[in-house]
Structure 1
């Protein structure tokens, strides 16, 4: 393999790592938004009841 191929491979590995990291963060953010909406709904229900 030439040096250019090694550099391209290194960039590819970093790119895949960043994509996986972004997917994990997006999944966590979606779960957090869902839980926050659920908590807000519960708080609204408590306020209406009390």
Structure 2
């Protein structure tokens, strides 16, 4: 019985860690997209001005 409880605890912990990892990846992707848009916009403006 103790083994079952430990197993479930491990599974729940792994799922929580996966959720945190997915959230972290989502944040990093969002930041990357925003940075890419800003870089493209600034390059576009400098090209049209220059």
What TM-score results when the alignment is normalised by the length of structure 1?
Answer: 0.80
Report the alpha carbon displacement of residue 2 of structure 1 after superposing the two structures with TM: 1.1
Structure 1 residue runs without a partner (length 5+): 44-50
Question: Which consecutive aligned stretches of 4+ in structure 1 deviate over 3 angstroms post-superposition?
Answer: none
Structure 2 residue runs without a partner (length 5+): 1-7
**Is 1:30 equivalent to 2:37 in the alignment?**
yes
Q: State the number of aligned residues.
A: 43
Bigger drift between 19-28 and 1-10 goes to 1-10
What TM-score results when the alignment is normalised by the length of structure 2?
Answer: 0.80
RMSD: 1.1
